[in-house]
Chain A
Amino acid sequence: MSSEVKDVGSHGHEGGDGFEPKILVFCCNWCSYAGADLAGVSRLQMPPHFRVIRVMCSARVDPEFVLRAFKRGADGILVAGCHPADCHYIGGNYRTRRRMALLKMLIQQFGFDPSRLQLEWISAGEGEKFQKTMVAFTNTIQELGPSPMRGGE
């Protein structure tokens, strides 16, 4: 997984005509990854700027992964997990919620906009929600511009 986080720094599309964001999406195996799969199978149109990393639970997303990804140049990170009370491991998503609140505070300390990090609950049947979330998140990141680690503000 750390190699995938590392890769985010080298697989960006830096087009000459404009900024194309590098977005990392952590999806929980039981809900959000299935939701992402459903969105793909349903052929819903989504921006091509994100890379999905499947984790067994959103709580598997260590705050370290998020910080390392930002350090290596990710413009935005979305963590998607099961809805509250639907976690396959009973309470993993509650832990994630606590960590994300802390991380949002931490990333502001080194000049990142907190909206570069987002937590979303997406169930296996919510392919459309996944697509809408990705479109909205990509638009937000495009408005914010490149990450401060890549010369943005």
Chain B
Amino acid sequence: MKMSLREAKINAALRTVEGERVRWLLGKKGQLTTSGNVFGEMITDARYSFILQKAAGVELERNMLLLEMEAGPRTVHELHDATRLPKPEIVRHLIALKKWRLVEQVGMKGQSPQYMAVPRKAETAKGE
């Protein structure tokens, strides 16, 4: 693995562990496995571990893409070259990120749409 890709992954991992989704899941283990969620649904320890690992994996990939798109507009091909993630997976992540208004389409490069990360609220406030 190239050093730049490794560093990018570590930066994405840092953002993942700071992120709401993973922190929430880590903090709710006791509740989810013993007393259940608001609907009284309980999950086993094994199921909890599976959910946590899957969520962390997805967040890691999305943060890698976001970090890349924060540097400037990127097409799916450019994102694939930078992150080595499969293109269909990148498209799935982009759909989710667009839904959460974390990325937006900013233009076209040939036939490919270019996407860019929407500045985060905390960063925007810092810049003002």
Counting chain B CB atoms within 10 Å of each CB, which of A63, A101, A102 scores highest?
A102
Q: Are A102 and B9 in contact (CB under 8 A)?
A: no
CA distance A95 to B28 in the complex (A): 10
Q: Are the C-beta atoms of B53 and A102 separated by less than 8 Å?
A: yes
Q: Is the CB of B6 within 8 A of A98?
A: no
A47 at the interface (CB under 8 A from B): no
Q: Which residue on chain B has the smallest CB distance to residue A91? A: B30
In the bound complex, what is the Cα–Cα distance between A65 and B37 (angstroms)? 30
A67/B26 in contact, CB under 8 A: no
Q: Is A135 an interface residue (CB 8 A)?
A: no
Are A111 and B13 neighbours in the complex by a CB distance under 8 Å?
no
Tally of A interface residues using CB under 8 Å: 22
Using a Cβ–Cβ cut-off of 8 Å, how many residues does chain B contribute to the interface with A? 22
In the complex, are the beta carbons of B14 and A68 less than 8 A apart?
yes
Q: Are A110 and B26 in contact (CB under 8 A)?
A: no
Is A44's beta carbon under 8 Å from chain B? no
The residues of A that contact B6 with a CB separation of less than 8 Å are 110-111, 148-149
Judge if A85 is at the interface, Cβ distance under 8 Å: no
A116, B56: Cα distance in complex, Å:
20
Asked if A99 is an interface residue, CB under 8 A from chain B, the answer is: yes
Shortest Cβ distance from A105 into B: residue = B53
Instruction: Name which residue of chain A comes closest to B6, CB basis.
Output: A110
